[in-house]
């Protein structure tokens, strides 16, 4: 897709203007530099496989291995990549992607077809189609999330709905839908799987969810109206959501009944969008498209402290989506304008080590709209 169309998407999601005024090199926040060249690469980029939902017609998923980077090479595509979903994408829509069942199943949203393709993931990371599944109750599905037990999945429809599904042998079945959401974006489950949170242009919607996937709004939902939120991630006691309006990471305490109590806005670099946590929950990262950077914080309950060296420059035009590997040692940051990723090594304290090269191509043609990434 042409860059002009990508910026139409960003404007529709509320982040185009912020990128226009915040893009390029320049100072960071709280005295931290931003936008400069990468320091010497340290430690080496670890081996890991990552997937990008390309958003094409016919829609495809690319799969790459970062292993060659440690020895001075570039990421290598897996045999057979890119893998077709068998469905079409939709120009101008975000495209969710998620792993389940210990990384043995992958879901890719097909926005224009209002469904999801389920893939089996082999030991080497290659994909084979299980089924076209998860027909949504709304239209133009975008974000998708899976609960930690891989028994439930939720799909957010930008038409104003969220769908929940039980997960069978990989296929999504028994859909339930909640309607009336204001421009929803994406979702995250609580760590106990009993609640799901949906970001939107009008705050965060919360739902209690039973084993069959039935949805009941939590007390006080939606939260922090009228602030709009984009990416979201949860620990056992907290939810962290990126707010473009506030140029900050919203911090919420998760109560026993699943309702949220707003704690603070932690200022971040310009145009925050995607959010990712390490598996241990000791660090949270925010893709900040306006500064072409990733901001990062150590996490202690609902208290955040900026990591040394953050925000970390990516040099990509729109670093908006990101994912941490299951091992917690690799951060992959996707730039849908440059059709590329930036790779970081995650150190034990959560700080990031740079790759030798700022960005690496993902092997998709001009006209693709890669707006979702997941690292295995």
Domain harbouring 217, CATH code: 2.130.10.10
Is the link from the previous residue into 82 a cis peptide, with omega within 30 of 0? yes
| Torsion angle in degrees (nearest 10) through CA of 365, 116, 191, 214 | 150
Q: What is the largest CA-CA distance in the chain?
A: 53
pLDDT exceeds cutoff 90 at 56: no
| Residues with Cβ within 8 Å of residue 102, at least 6 apart in sequence | 150
Share of the chain above pLDDT 70, in %: 88
343, part of any domain:
no
- For 191, other C-beta atoms within 10 Å of its C-beta total 17
190, part of any domain:
yes
Closest CA to 242 of 181, 188, 287, 308: 287
Instruction: For residues 295 and 310, give the distance between their C-alpha atoms in angstroms, rounded to a whole number.
Output: 5
pLDDT exceeds cutoff 50 at 250: yes
237, part of any domain:
yes
239, part of any domain:
yes
Q: What average pLDDT does range 141-169 have in this prediction?
A: 95
pLDDT exceeds cutoff 70 at 27: no
Give the full edge-to-edge strand order of the sheet including 184-189.
184-189, 195-200, 203-209, 215-217
Residue 371: what pLDDT?
87
278, part of any domain:
yes
Q: Where are the beta strands (DSSP E) in 111-259?
A: 115-121, 127-133, 141-146, 152-157, 161-167, 172-179, 184-189, 195-200, 203-209, 215-217, 232-234, 238-243, 248-254
Range of the domain at 274: 3-261+268-285+296-335+348-375
- In the chain, alpha helices (H): 3-13, 16-22
Q: Which of 54-63, 186-195, 245-254, 321-330 has the lowest mean pLDDT?
A: 54-63
Residue 368: what pLDDT?
86
Residues 186, 187, 192: CA angle, nearest 5 degrees = 170
Distance of CA 250 to the CA centre of its chain: 16
Is the link from the previous residue into 311 a cis peptide, with omega within 30 of 0? yes
| End-to-end alpha carbon distance in the chain | 27
342, part of any domain:
no
Mean pLDDT score across all residues of the chain: 88
Residue 316: what pLDDT?
87
Q: What average pLDDT does range 227-254 have in this prediction?
A: 96
341, part of any domain:
no
Where residue 41 falls among pLDDT bands split at 50, 70, 90?
A: confident
Instruction: For residues 106 and 134, give the distance between their C-alpha atoms in angstroms, rounded to a whole number.
Output: 13
Instruction: For residues 3 and 52, give the distance between their C-alpha atoms in angstroms, rounded to a whole number.
Output: 18
**Backbone conformation region of residue 104, classed left if phi is above 0, alpha if psi is from -120 to 50, else beta:** alpha
The 3-state DSSP class for residue 241 equals: strand
pLDDT exceeds cutoff 80 at 18: no
CB-CB contact of 36 with 24 (8 Å)? no
291, part of any domain:
no
Where residue 55 falls among pLDDT bands split at 50, 70, 90?
A: confident
Q: Encoding tokens for residue 295?
A: 């901001």
Residue 4: what pLDDT?
29
Number of domains in the chain: 1
| Residues with Cβ within 8 Å of residue 360, at least 6 apart in sequence | 69, 74, 75, 340, 341, 342, 343
């Amino acid at each position: 897709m042409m860059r002009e169309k990508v910026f139409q998407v960003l404007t529709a999601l509320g982040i185009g203007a912020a990128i226009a005024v915040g893009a390029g090199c320049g100072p960071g926040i709280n005295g931290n530099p931003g936008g400069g060249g990468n320091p010497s690469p340290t430690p080496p980029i670890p081996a890991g496989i990552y997937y990008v939902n390309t958003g094409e017609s016919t829609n495809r998923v690319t799969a790459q291995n970062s292993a060659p980077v440690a020895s001075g090479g570039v990421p290598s595509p897996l045999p057979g990549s890119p893998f077709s979903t068998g469905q079409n994408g939709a120009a101008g829509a975000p495209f969710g992607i998620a792993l389940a069942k210990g990384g043995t199943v992958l879901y890719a949203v097909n926005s224009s077809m209002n469904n999801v393709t389920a893939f089996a993931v082999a030991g080497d990371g290659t994909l084979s189609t299980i089924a076209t599944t998860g027909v949504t109750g709304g239209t133009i599905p975008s974000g998708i999330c899976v609960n930690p037990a891989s028994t439930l999945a939720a799909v957010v429809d930008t038409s104003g709905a969220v769908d929940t599904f039980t997960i069978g042998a990989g296929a999504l079945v028994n859909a339930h839908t909640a309607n009336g959401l204001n421009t929803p974006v994406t979702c995250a489950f609580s760590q106990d799987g009993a609640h799901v949170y949906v970001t939107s242009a009008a705050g965060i919607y919360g739902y209690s969810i039973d084993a069959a996937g039935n949805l009941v709004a939590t007390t006080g939902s939606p939260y922090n109206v009228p602030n709009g939120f984009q990416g979201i991630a949860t620990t056992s006691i907290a939810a962290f959501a990126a707010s473009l309006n506030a140029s900050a990471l919203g911090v919420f305490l998760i109560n026993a009944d699943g309702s949220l109590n707003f704690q603070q806005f932690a200022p971040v670099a310009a145009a925050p969008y995607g959010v990712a946590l390490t598996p241990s929950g000791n660090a949270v990262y925010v893709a900040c498209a306006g500064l072409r950077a990733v901001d990062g914080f150590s996490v202690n309950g609902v208290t955040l402290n900026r990591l040394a060296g953050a925000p970390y420059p990516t040099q990509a035009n729109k670093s908006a989506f990101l994912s941490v590997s299951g091992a917690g040692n690799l951060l992959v940051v996707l730039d849908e304008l440059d059709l590329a990723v930036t790779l970081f090594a995650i150190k034990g304290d959560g700080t990031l080590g740079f790759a030798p090269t700022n960005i690496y191509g993902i092997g998709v043609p001009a006209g693709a709209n890669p707006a979702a990434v997941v690292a295995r």
